[in-house]
Structure 1
Amino acid sequence: MSFITTSLFELFKIGPGPSSSHTIGPMKAGYCFMEEVRKLDTALLEQADIIEIHLFGSLSATGEGHGTRRAVISGLLGHQPETCHPDVLDGLDHDPEQVYPLDIGPKSIDFKGNEVVFDAVEHDYPYSNTMVFRLQKGEKILFEQEYYSIGGGFLRWKGWEEPQIGEPKYKYKNMAELKKHLVMHEIRLHDLILENEMAITGLSENEIYERLDNIIMVMERAVEQGIQTEGILPGPIGLHRKAPTLYAKAKRGHFQGPGFLKAINAYAMGASEENAAGHCIVTAPTAGAAGVIPALLFMLKRHMGALTDEIRQGLMAAAAIGFLAKNNASISGAEVGCQGEVGVASAMGAAMMAYARGYRFQVTENSAEIALEHHLGLTCDPVGGYVQIPCIERNAMGAVKAYNAYLIASSVEAAYHMVDLDKVIKAMAETGRDMSRKYKETSLGGLAVSVIEC
């Protein structure tokens, strides 16, 4: 296990939903493949007449419902998650026979959506979410590349090597080592994360804050769009959006009492419904869990008067929790179930709440631990492969649990807390290893089967 070198902007990534591993990763893969193709010898490219893509594992099992094919097409067409229009996927893949001209340099190749093949769910590739891109002349393969979508929008490929980056100023692998730095160097958590980010990426403090502010803006926009947009979400389920109704009822209650909880639910579901529609969100840590932190952030800013610096610092505290979970377990539903997505998001959100409200490190860690502990064993079983049932309401539950975890941790004596975050992350990793594969984003078990049978 190596020390943590993940950047804030690898964890918090802007891109289209509904699933970071199924849309953001594949979009990146499509873009990268075209970039590599255009570097090939012109004589080879002149022979090419087909581009074919095979999806394996969870990408095959639930890619239809997750919009993986249209994400791949958008990448092939030159779109990138960070810079694409918020609704870039809306106009793609309505007709499998639609032709998309792909510029490969000396000429163009006609590509159809049905040339994305949903292949074997069980396979021998090193990662569950594997994609094989091929440039062909008829059946003859001219160029091939394997890509792996490893969760949270992170992309790897065959032959991938760790990029050369700066070394973090404060090296740690787990929470115990992180705490030692905080005590030894008498440094606040957000300052440590900021120092490491500057060392790893070479960005200045102002550049980091500008990027964080953009992340905050996109999160707020997802909530705002979600609580204002009515209608039915894409796909055969026919699921009605609920966020506008919840928000209206919270507003009528002046956000007091039950109205406060209704507002948290509305904000989380609003961002999640935008994600389910394939619109731009922020992975936090994944697209499937993209409603939790924005809901709490919106609550902090709009109802609790949190200042910009407090929100920034809270996000950096949240990132610290996400880094630990990713480094020591997983944030991929295909690897550990939804405990690694909504569970980690809830832990991150609880830490953000505590830190943004001025609590120091121990209460922040305890908040995260409580939230994650009570998501252990959570399966990933989306009905029909769509990030809708139970995913949207699950984001709302994760946000409420995060808020409650913060309340518990900030109200009791911190010294009496029995379980530390390292232990619960280890338990999450072990639970994920033991979890049946049918509960890991395959739609082969749990609600995915029960709802269809009803």
Structure 2
Amino acid sequence: MAISNPITTSIFDLFKIGPGPSSSHTIGPMKAAFDFRHRLATLPDAVQQQADTIHIHLYGSLSATGKGHGTDRAIVAGLLGWQPETVEPDALLKLLREPDVTYPVETGKMSITVGPQHVHFERVRYDSPYANTMVLKLAAGEQTLYEEEYYSIGGGFIIRKGEPEVDPTSVSVPYPYGTMNELKAQLATHKITLDELMLANEAALTGLSRSVINQKIDQILDFMHKAVRRGLRHKGTLPGTIRLSRKAPILYQQAKGMSQSSDSFLIFLNAYCLAASEENAAGGIVVTAPTSGASGVIPGLTFLAKHHFHYDKATLRSGMLAAAAVGFLVKHNASISGAEMGCMGEIGTASAMGAAFLTRCAQPTGTINTIEAAAEIGIEHHLGMTCDPIGGYVQIPCIERNAMGAIKAYNAFLLATSGAASFQKISLDAVVKVMKATGRDMSTKYKETSEAGLALSATEC
């Protein structure tokens, strides 16, 4: 089967471990700065010895909400050699607290310092193909010695300007697909399960054995659930000027006191989603699912599935593979970036992934059509959702939206498994096309800039 533009993303690029509060504003910029640091070490000795500083220029959404998202801290961390998977959250939060403190960047034969005065939030429009653009410049006085331009495209994924794009057809996977229709055709042609297809492709992309892939999925789930547990335990207010109080511990205690009520199940789910999302807002270690801003939906649902529905590890893994398939399709054919799609790209995608997860777990022998129906319903009812964080913090409305996205995912699962999946008129491919068009038409004021919507009520908080 000839596929012109197949998906070649790894499960472990979609589900990434790193610090909150934003994959596009924190994890992506940290990775970009780490890459820049590595490139500086390869410059000629004369250039390295002449340099005296690094200037960081942030454009678009990174400029508008980068301060609240900790983009400046993340880039300095990357320049120091810190990486998202291993960074200590408390150390990250301490960076740039003092306006006069600078930090040593030592790489190759270079030893310079960088501090708050070297970070420039450029609110002027920048001619860039992406909403999240950063330019890093090595300088000697007013002279630029070397620079790189990076784009943070959501979910912690980055692109470096001028870097040749990998031809997806040059990466060989046994079952290539780029759309849901192509995915279904592969399953039908080869008479294999979705699990088998996803595992075979992942093994081809990463070179990992199936047992190692399963172990890594278990590790991802473990990190998700650790975030939930921390959030259920931690009280107080979240960082930032909003002074938003954590709600998850209160909801959790309320749910435990209502164990005989039919509502307790929903309150537990809300508590789990808020817990992970509040940890993200506090800069804790979370898992992009598919982004940090949406990192409460799937952790909450998987925690519920494990501790309330008592699904075993194998079932949870199967659900995660179904969720990944949906996340791949949205990222590949639209975007998971709030700066490009609004919140439908983040919470909408997470809700669709969550619906696919629940459907696959509940119906081990179910059809791909039911999974598709659940995912389509999840996205359909997030179309047009704006990204308008108050103060640029991933707090209001972001935290509660994670809980609402999970509830919608659960309802999408119920609707899809009601026996009427075959009646669904809108395909997943069709709704993703609509999603992309809606994001393109949406005013930039409503795409992670804090210039409209709820963000304008910041003075009331």
TM-score by length of 2: 0.96
Query: Which residue of structure 1 lines up, in the alignment, with residue 376 of structure 2?
Result: 369
Q: Which residue of 2 aligns with 1:413?
A: 420
Q: Tell me the equivalent position of 2:259.
A: 254
Alignment CA distance shift 1:107-1:437 (3 Å): closer
| Matched residue type, 2:177 | Y
Per-residue CA deviations over 1:283-338 (Å, capped at 9, x if unaligned) read 11111100000000000001101110111110010000001101111100111100
| 8 A Cα contact 2:319 2:358, kept in partner | yes
User: Structure 2 counterpart of 1:429, which letter?
Assistant: K
Contact 1:336/1:431, CA 8 A, preserved across alignment: yes
Change in 2 beyond 3 A, CA 1:275/1:121: farther
What is aligned with 1:6? Answer: 9
Distance in 2 between the 1:320 and 1:304 partners?
Answer: 23
In the TM superposition, 1:36-435 aligns within 5 A as: 36-163=39-166, 166-254=171-259, 256-358=261-363, 359-435=366-442
Q: Distance in 1 between matches of 2:382 and 2:425?
A: 17
Partner of 2:452: 445
Aligned-partner SS, 1:387:
coil
CA distance in 2, matches of 1:254, 1:106: 62
* 1:134 alignment partner, SS class: strand
Whether the aligned pair in 2 keeps the contact of 1:54 and 1:132 (CA below 8 Å) is yes
Would you say the 8 A contact 1:53–1:131 is kept in 2? yes
Structure 1 unpaired stretches of 5+: none
**1:368–1:421 CA contact under 8 A, matched in 2:** yes
Deviation, 1:451, is 4.1
Aligned AA for 2:128? Y
SS at match of 1:411: coil
1:372 is aligned with what amino acid? I
What do residues 59-115 of structure 1 show as CA deviations (whole Å, max 9, x unaligned)? 000001111011111111111112223544222221122111110332421211231
Amino acid paired to 2:276: A
2-side partners of 1:93 and 1:221: how far apart? 28
Change (3 A) 1:107 1:174: closer
CA distance in 1, matches of 2:65, 2:420: 45
The answer to whether the 8 Å contact 1:134/1:143 transfers is yes
Q: Cα offset for 1:121? A: 4.9
Q: How many residues align?
A: 454
Structure 1 CA distance for aligned equivalents of residues 433 and 198 of structure 2: 22
CA deviation after TM superposition for structure 1 residue 450, in Å: 3.4
Measure, in 2, the Cα distance between the counterparts of 1:372 and 1:236.
32
- For residue 190 of structure 1, give the secondary structure of its aligned residue in structure 2: helix
Q: Secondary structure at the match of 1:376?
A: coil
CA distance in 2 between partners of 1:12 and 1:84 (Å)? 17
- Distance apart, 1:343 and its partner CA: 0.2
Contact map agreement 2:391 2:458 (CA 8 A) in 1? no
**Cα distance in 2, alignment partners of residues 323 and 356 from structure 1:** 19
| Aligned-partner Cα distance in 1 for 2:460–2:256 | 38
SS state at 2:417 partner: helix
Call closer, same or farther: CA 1:333–1:197 in 2, change over 3 Å.
same
Residue pair 1:61, 1:121 contacting (<8 A) in 2 also? no
Per-residue CA deviation, residues 106-154 of structure 1 (Å, 9 max, x unaligned), is: 2421211231110135210221111111111100111111111111100
Contact 1:382/1:441 (8 A) holds in 2: yes
In 2, distance between residues paired with 1:256 and 1:283? 33
Q: Deviations over 1:230-267 (max 9, x none)?
A: 01000000100000001110111127411110111111
- Alignment partner of 2:136: what SS? strand
**Partner Cα separation in structure 2 for residue 45 and residue 123 of structure 1:** 28
The 3-state SS of whatever aligns with 2:139 is strand
> Gaps (5+ residues) in structure 2?
none
Task: Give how far 1:199 is off.
Answer: 1.3
Cα deviation 1:1-41 (Å, max 9, x = unaligned): 72111110111111111110000001001111111111111
Kept in 2, the 8 Å contact 1:134–1:142? The answer is: yes
Give me the whole-angstrom Cα distance separating, in 1, the residues matched to 2:383 and 2:44. 51
The separation in 2 between residues aligned to 1:37 and 1:101, in whole angstroms, is 14
Partner Cα separation in structure 1 for residue 402 and residue 14 of structure 2: 18
Aligned residue type for 2:322: A
CA contact (8 A) 1:135 1:144 kept: yes
1:191 is displaced (CA, Å) by 1.3
1:56 alignment partner AA: Y
CA–CA distance in structure 1, aligned partners of residues 154 and 403 of structure 2: 21
Q: Which shifted more, 185-194 or 104-113? A: 104-113
- Matched letter for residue 76 of structure 1: L
- Higher mean Cα deviation, 284-293 or 176-185? 176-185
CA distance in 2, matches of 1:408, 1:250: 25
User: How large is the Cα RMSD of the aligned pairs?
Assistant: 1.4
The 1:349/1:255 distance shift into structure 2, 3 A limit, reads farther
Contact 2:255 2:264 in 1 (8 A): yes
**Paired position in structure 1 for 2:22:** 19
Is contact 1:233–1:241 with CA below 8 Å preserved after alignment? yes
For normalisation by structure 1, the TM-score amounts to 0.97
Take 1:366 and 1:256, find their aligned partners in 2: how far apart are those partners? 30
Shift of 1:444: 0.6
* SS state at 1:6 partner: coil
